[in-house]
């Protein structure tokens, strides 16, 4: 039990961050991480001994989130008006950073789920392509392809491009 807690406990903040980025709702994200931890504890004996606990836990969170998002898509969106502050409904954000954040979140929401997951795991969580491929159960080349398309689409959406012409950006060089 102590071995399990030693491996799982330091990963909880990263799991919460990933879940919040996927679901956009702190309460739902916390519930998702709780479900993930329940699955992990209940199925700890099924984990590969030579496998990475981090990859395994992120895979559980990802699969649970996909299931939850599909369930929501079938049911439709539900936002209780009582939970929203009146000021949020009546006043638009005035600060530029708030607008930029909103645009970024809208652009992230506009990405297909496959691209969004790869983008979040690689750029926000700092996972390698191989770890991301293991979590999503896809080939590494697919991770690289989805990441490239996600980055290009995010640039187009943030620049206000219509998506028909790829955005022009400076070439990036790899520094070793």
Complete DSSP assignment for the chain: -HHHHHHHGGGHHHHHHHHHHHHS-HHHHHHHHHHHHHHHHHTGGGS-TTS-HHHHHHHHHHHHHHHHHHHHHHH-----GGGS-HHHHH----SHHHHHHHHHHHHHHHS-HHHHHHHIIIIIS---HHHHHHHHTS-HHHHHHHHHHHHHHHHHHHHT--SSSPPP-PPP----
What is the value of pTM for the model shown?
0.55
Task: Kindly state whether residues 73 and 2 are assigned to the same domain.
Answer: yes
Alpha carbon distance 138, 115 (integer Å):
12
pLDDT for 64-76, tens place per residue? 999 988 888 787 6
Mean pLDDT of all residues in 122-135: 92
Report the pLDDT value the prediction gives residue 73, as an integer from 0 to 100. 79
Report if residue 54 sits inside a domain: yes
- Output the domain CATH number for residue 66: 1.10.1740.10
Is the same domain home to 125 and 154? yes
Rounded (10°) CA dihedral 31, 37, 41, 45:
120
Q: Look at residue 122 and tell me whether its pLDDT is greater than 80.
A: yes
Full residue range of the structural domain in which residue 141 is found: 95-164
Of 14, 43, 77, which residue constitutes the final position of a domain?
A: 77
CATH number of the domain that 125 lies in? 1.10.10.10
In this predicted model, what pLDDT tens digit does every residue of 43-58 receive, in sequence order?
Answer: 887 777 777 888 999 9
Same domain, 160 and 109: yes
- Looking at the structure of the chain, the number of domains it has is 2
What is the rounded average pLDDT of the residues 91-97? 66
176 within a domain of the structure (yes/no): no
| 73 plus 99 within the same structural domain | no
Q: Are residues 10 and 71 in the same domain?
A: yes
Query: Which of 50, 77, 104 is the C-terminal boundary of a domain?
Result: 77
The answer to whether position 85 is within a domain reads no
Residue 40 lies in a domain: yes
């Amino acid at each position: 039990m102590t071995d399990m807690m030693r491996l799982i406990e330091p990963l909880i903040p990263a799991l919460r961050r990933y879940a919040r980025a996927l679901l956009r709702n702190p309460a739902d994200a916390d519930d998702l991480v709780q479900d993930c931890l329940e699955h992990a504890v209940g199925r700890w004996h099924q984990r590969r001994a030579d496998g990475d606990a981090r990859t395994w836990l992120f895979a559980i969170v990802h699969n649970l989130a996909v299931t939850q998002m599909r369930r929501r898509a079938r049911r439709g969106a539900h936002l209780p008006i009582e939970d929203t502050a009146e000021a949020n409904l009546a006043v638009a954000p005035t600060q530029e950073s708030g607008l930029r954040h909103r645009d970024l979140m809208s652009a992230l929401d506009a990405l297909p789920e496959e691209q969004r997951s790869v983008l979040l795991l690689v750029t926000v969580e700092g996972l390698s392509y191989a770890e991301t491929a293991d979590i999503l159960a896809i080939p590494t080349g697919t991770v690289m392809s989805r990441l490239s398309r996600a980055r290009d689409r995010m640039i187009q959406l943030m620049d206000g491009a219509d998506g028909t012409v790829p955005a022009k950006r400076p070439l990036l060089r790899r520094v070793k």
